Structure 1
């Protein structure tokens, strides 16, 4: 099923032609900072499947994994669109909030649980990783 989305102000649009190779909820400190204290919820797509129109701003910093993470967002409204790791430039990690309502995706894995605050509610039915999990398979 193709996916589409946009930022809160409509300046940035997404069209995604493939299915996600993974869906994850991330509790790393960087994600908590960009998500105002909670986790980010993400769908990982092949970069070639994701088309974006509109202007994006970005910021990058070194992650606890040792990779450089670059976060792309709408410069007008600040909506997070996707993140990308220097170790996996063939993938784009799209924020659930940037996808149109009704996308039907949900996290399958919770990562960086060691960084989650004590009050975090983590679904025990989901696979979880205390830190960085192995890269998702791309085939």
Structure 2
């Protein structure tokens, strides 16, 4: 079993999953662009049951363009965005790849919400993509 570890920028929050990511993808939705300072957010998907968390992240709940109610968790001390969870998919946790200790080999395998990407974005033509929210989840 592969373990995956990560932390916020200041180290006040550390986490560990007892498994490798289930999938990875880049998201160009407008919410993710805010969180990624104008770019796509690159995300890994995990089963929340495998999470061990040290520290207490703050939460922000909002409605996404997809219609999903999202709970986003971040470090209240340094502001690092860590996790997102869709109310409709409690079996999947989205983790920002930048927070993982080991990021090599975790390139996105697809891109979503590419229709919201700015005109200067460089989208990989070799990646499967969806202009909005895909109808199939990233993991089964």
TM-score interval, normalised by the smaller of the two chains? over 0.9
CA deviations 1:78-104 (Å, max 9, x no partner) are: 111111111101111000011014453
Contact 2:113 2:131 in 1 (8 A): yes
TM-score (ref. length: structure 1): 0.94
Q: Which residue of 133, 136, 139 maps to 1:137? A: 139
What is the DSSP-based 3-state SS (H/G/I as helix, E as strand, rest coil) of the residue aligned with 1:58?
Answer: strand
| CA–CA distance in structure 2, aligned partners of residues 95 and 112 of structure 1 | 17
Matched pairs, number: 138
Contact 2:33 2:40 in 1 (8 A): yes
Range with bigger deviation, 101-110 or 79-88: 101-110
| CA–CA distance in structure 1, aligned partners of residues 43 and 139 of structure 2 | 16
- What aligned pairs does 1:85-96 form with structure 2 within 5 A after superposition? 85-96=86-97
Contact 1:3 1:103 in 2 (8 A): no
Contact 1:71 1:82 in 2 (8 A): yes
Partner of 1:28: 29
Gaps (5+ residues) in structure 2?
A: none
Runs of 4+ in 1 over 2 A off after TM superposition: 101-104
Instruction: Note the aligned Cα RMSD (angstroms).
Output: 1.1
Gaps (5+ residues) in structure 1?
A: none
TM-score (ref. length: structure 2): 0.93
| CA–CA distance in structure 2, aligned partners of residues 90 and 55 of structure 1 | 21
Change in Cα spacing, 1:131 to 1:60, as seen in structure 2 (3 Å) is: same
